[in-house]
Structure 1
Amino acid sequence: MAGLYFEDCKEGLVIEHAIRRTVTETDNVLFSAMTYNCAPLHIDAEYCKNTIYGQRLVNSMFLLALIAGVTVQETTLGTTLGNLGFQEIKFPKPVFHGDTIHVRTQIVNARLSKSRNDSGIVTFRHIGLNQHDEVVCEAVRVGLMLLRPAQ
């Protein structure tokens, strides 16, 4: 398995994820269309010329999904039973077409499950940064992680 088992999730562990992703206009328009988000801030270039940013913003839900997705290979691939929730989601800076996003994850907390004997509960803090190392997204995620199988 590429993901971390519960025992690997030590509080304070920081992972700099290898995958970087340049966000494209196609990403933004398709995601907005697929989710029925017709906000002109995401899809209307003419409208956005008169906004405080002067251009379209990348859909924040796409950004959250991208940041969570980038983390999978190095954190939860094959070792999670599922997400239990997201908390404290913040978008401190806007993302535009052409921005390149990279992600850092920190293990905030880890405890054994009280109701299951095969897993533990891990709290991850995911931080998305743009090409200028400005934080563009922060999200705290809680996952149910498998214990390492007995040999």
Structure 2
Amino acid sequence: MAGVWFDDMHVGQRFEHAIRRTVTETDNVLFTTLSHNPAALHLDAEYMAGTDYGRILVNSCFTLSLMVGVSVGDTTLGTAIANLGWDEVRFPAPVFIGDTLNMVTEVIDLRDSKSRPEAGIVTFRHEAWNQHGTLVATCKRSGLQKRKPA
């Protein structure tokens, strides 16, 4: 177990994740094709060369998955019961092949579970920043988290 118990979390707690990740073309192509997304903006370099971006954009759903996935080891590994929802998902700047992303997670709300006394509900704000210090993704995520065993 590497995650944090609900009882050990506090509002304002920040996790600056040590894992940084450079996004590869393989990441983007594999994620995009496995999710059956045929969009040219993720797969067609010649088409994208003629756009304002001038190059392929990384699939934003991959960016979201990576941003949240990196947080698991520090926050919820072995202590999560369920993901309850996503809110305010935003991509304020594009991610390109070769960008290296740094992720930060903050606890922004904690409350008791009304249906499960052995758990609480935690809300996280996740952020992803590229190597230039530009915020590229953010979201709020709520989950059902285990309390410490008695």
Q: Give the TM-score band, short-chain normalised.
A: over 0.9
Counterpart of 1:90 in structure 2 is 90
TM-score by length of 1: 0.98
TM-score by length of 2: 0.99
Deviation of the 1:65 alpha carbon: 0.4
Counterpart of 2:23 in structure 1 is 23
1:31-50 alignment to 2 at 5 Å?
31-50=31-50
**Cα RMSD, aligned residues only:** 0.5
1:2-151 alignment to 2 at 5 Å?
2-150=2-150
Deviation of the 1:115 alpha carbon: 1.1
Q: Distance in 2 between matches of 1:41 and 1:32?
A: 10
Deviation of the 1:55 alpha carbon: 0.2
**Matched positions, count:** 150
Identity of aligned residues (%): 55
Q: Distance in 2 between matches of 1:77 and 1:8?
A: 14
Deviations 1:90-141 (A, max 9, x none): 0000000000011000100001111111100000000001011110000100
Deviation of the 1:9 alpha carbon: 1.6
Instruction: Give structure 2 stretches of 5+ with no counterpart.
Output: none
Deviation of the 1:58 alpha carbon: 0.1
SS at match of 2:143: strand
Give the AA of the match of 1:134: T
Runs of 4+ that moved beyond 2 A? none
Q: Distance in 2 between matches of 1:75 and 1:133?
A: 23
Q: Distance in 2 between matches of 1:8 and 1:101?
A: 27
Give the AA of the match of 1:38: P
SS at match of 1:125: strand
